[in-house]
Amino acid sequence: MKVGSTKKKKVVVREYELEIGKIQVFDNYMVSIFDEGATLTLERAYQIIGISEIHFRNKNFGFISLRKNSFAIDPTIYNYLKQLENLKAFAIVSVKEIDMHNFKIEKLFYKKPMKFFIEYDNALKWVKRRVNS
């Protein structure tokens, strides 16, 4: 347990409940937590891209995929995500080995700064560093 932490509290600017899970928007990054068994299709990815345009239209941002649950992703989504000039970092957080294997495949489609983390705090530090650089 940390006592007397001086870390700045992370404030959710807005939370969106989607069919497939939720998106939390913070000052300069977004976090997705998708439902067990959900399928992230291109149509659903457009919703997330729309949310990013509302909050980060003229501003760099990062994305953290918090993989608490197992879900499917259409890998062609990454062709659209890599066109977002202001998306500077894409982090995946999971402790599951299958997600590490899936990450290696997803990375082949994305080809921009993307990293896998076991701990959320490490992912957040990396995303913030990339967004602010």
pLDDT averaged over 10-residue windows placed end to end, the chain, 133 residues: 47 93 97 96 93 95 96 90 92 95 91 95 97 93
Note the pLDDT of residue 36: 95
Instruction: Report pTM.
Output: 0.89
Note the pLDDT of residue 60: 97
Note the pLDDT of residue 25: 97
Note the pLDDT of residue 12: 86
Residues near 55 by beta carbon (within 8 Å), at least 6 away in sequence:
13, 14, 25, 30, 61
Note the pLDDT of residue 6: 39
Backbone angles phi, psi at 129, to 5 degrees: -60, -45
Burial class (CB in 10 A: 0-12, 13-18, 19+), 6: exposed
Rounded distance between C-alpha atoms, residue 43 and residue 41, angstroms: 5
